[in-house]
Structure formats: structure tokens, C-alpha cells
């Protein structure tokens, strides 16, 4: 191969690599519905999970109310659904109908926005579970007994709330290695245990909070 050709190929490859790590590329892949909701200004009038304006209705669980097609239509032609200047009532609050049409934005973006909004269904079943229920569904009960029910590979937690703080319990759920040395033996309330509790670093903060608060209440 001629040097010039090799050089051209290398330059081309380098160009791809540079683009791959460039802000332009990450901007392209990050333009999901969620970021469009911010960049297109929807967030100035609409609130999702506590963030955003209040001139328009809250969209935190719009997906359980409206279809993908309906949402797309609302973004491009809101006047087909609601008449300007009339009232729109949601949860006992009335809004003045004034949403502008976003028809000039490309269909691909409208699709991404509608896909995102359609996915918002409010609290899921998992999120509605109480700490007591999560203690079972997250398998803590396989190793721990509370009030007579559960396994014995780990200590009885029936009165853990009078022994440890909320913060300590949260830490134990996420990173037990911060408290006990993995695979060693430990004596807790007069009994020897092997330190085998699994870490849960990716458990959602909501779940960790619920389970820890439940355990903290056991005294």
C-alpha cells in the first residue's frame, strides 16, 4: 500500500474515533425524550416528578391516561384536542388552554418526546410496596428472622431499631463491607455469623429508605 493511502485511511479512522468521543456525538445520543422535554421548553409549563412549571398540567403519570398517538397529536396540534382560551381541569385544578403547537420540530423529536411521556405511569407496583413487603420481595427474609418468621444465616432483626441508627442500616443494606469484613466470622448478640450479606449498591434510594425505615421502627 502506498504511504498516502495508509495516511488517508488512518486519518479517516482517527476522525471516527475523535467524533465518537466528541461532545457532538454524545449530544446526538443523549437527545432522548427526557432531554428534549427540557431543551424544547416543555418543562417551563409542565411538571414531572416534582420538577418543572405549573402553567400546564402535571405530566408525572400522563402515560397511564393518554396513548402514544394522542400525545404526539397534542405536541403537534394541541388545538385538535382543546380550544384555546377555554379551561382544562386536572385534579381539581383548572388551566387556561394555551399550549403552543410544536409542529415545526422534526417528527423524530416529537416521537422521542411522546415515547418518553407515554412511559410515565406514575408510581409502579414496585414503588408502591412498603418496607415490610420489600423485606420479603428483596429476599432479606431468606437470611433474617423478624418476629418469628425468616431465615437464620443472618442475625435476628426483630429489635434492630433500638440498636442501630437509620443511616447505619441504610449503609448495611448498600455496602455491608463498610461494617463487617467479608467472609470473616462476626459475633452479633452472642451468636457467630459468617459475613456473607450481599451488597445492594444499585438498589434504588427509595427502596433502601423504605426498608431501612421499616427496620428502624422495630424496637
The residue ranges that bind ligand HEC (CB under 6 A) are 40-42, 44-46, 55-57, 59, 62, 66, 71, 74-75, 78, 82, 88, 90, 95, 97-99, 102, 113, 117, 138-140, 142-144, 153-155, 157, 160, 163, 169, 172-173, 176, 180, 186, 188, 193, 195-198, 200, 211, 215
Which residue's CB is nearer to ligand HEC, number 22 or number 64? 64
Cβ-contact 58, 89 below 8 angstroms: no
Select 18 or 84, whichever has its Cβ closest to ligand HEC.
84
**Residue placing its CB nearer to ligand HEC in the complex, 10 or 149:** 149
Cell numbers 416529537 correspond to 110
Give the nearer residue to ligand HEC in terms of CB position, either 57 or 129.
57
- In angstroms, give the least distance from the CB of 207 to ligand HEC: 8
Nearest to 133 by CA among 122, 119, 123, 146: 146
Return the C-alpha cell found at 8.
488517508
CA dist 183 and 24 (Å) reads: 47
- Closest to ligand HEC by CB, 9 vs 55, is 55
| Smallest separation (angstroms) from ligand HEC to the CB of 121 | 13
CB of 202 to ligand HEC, least distance (A): 12
* CA Rg value for the chain: 26
Burial class of residue 117, CB neighbours in 10 A (0-12, 13-18, 19+): buried
188 grid coordinates? 452479633
* Nearest distance, CB of residue 130 and ligand HEC, angstroms: 13
Q: Which residue has the cell 414503588?
A: 127
Nearer to ligand HEC, 20 or 175 (CB): 175
Nearest to 172 by CA among 147, 141, 194, 200: 200
Answer whether 40's CB lies under 8 Å from 111's CB.
no
- Output the smallest distance, CB 70 to ligand HEC, in A: 8
- Shortest Å, Cβ 125 to ligand HEC: 18
Amino acid at each position: 500500500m502506498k504511504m498516502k493511502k495508509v495516511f488517508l485511511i488512518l486519518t479517516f479512522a482517527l476522525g471516527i474515533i475523535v467524533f465518537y468521543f466528541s461532545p457532538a456525538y454524545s449530544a446526538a445520543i443523549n437527545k432522548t425524550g427526557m432531554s428534549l422535554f427540557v431543551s424544547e421548553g416543555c418543562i417551563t409549563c409542565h411538571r414531572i416528578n416534582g420538577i418543572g412549571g405549573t402553567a400546564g398540567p402535571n405530566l408525572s403519570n400522563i402515560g397511564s391516561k393518554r396513548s402514544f398517538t394522542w400525545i404526539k397529536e397534542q405536541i403537534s396540534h394541541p388545538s385538535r384536542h382543546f380550544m384555546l382560551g377555554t379551561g382544562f381541569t386536572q385534579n381539581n385544578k383548572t388551566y387556561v388552554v394555551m399550549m403552543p403547537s410544536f409542529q415545526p420540530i422534526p417528527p423524530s423529536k416529537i416521537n422521542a418526546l411522546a415515547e418518553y411521556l407515554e412511559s410515565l405511569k406514575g408510581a409502579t407496583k414496585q414503588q408502591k410496596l412498603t418496607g415490610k413487603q420489600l423485606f420479603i420481595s428483596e429476599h432479606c427474609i431468606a437470611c433474617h428472622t423478624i418476629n418469628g418468621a425468616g431465615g437464620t444465616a443472618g442475625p435476628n432483626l426483630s429489635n434492630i431499631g433500638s440498636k442501630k441508627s437509620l443511616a447505619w442500616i441504610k449503609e448495611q443494606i448498600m455496602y455491608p463491607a463498610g461494617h463487617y469484613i467479608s467472609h470473616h466470622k462476626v459475633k452479633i448478640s452472642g451468636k457467630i455469623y459468617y459475613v456473607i450479606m450481599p451488597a445492594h449498591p444499585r438498589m434504588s434510594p427509595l427502596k433502601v429508605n423504605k426498608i431501612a425505615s421499616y427496620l428502624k421502627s422495630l424496637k
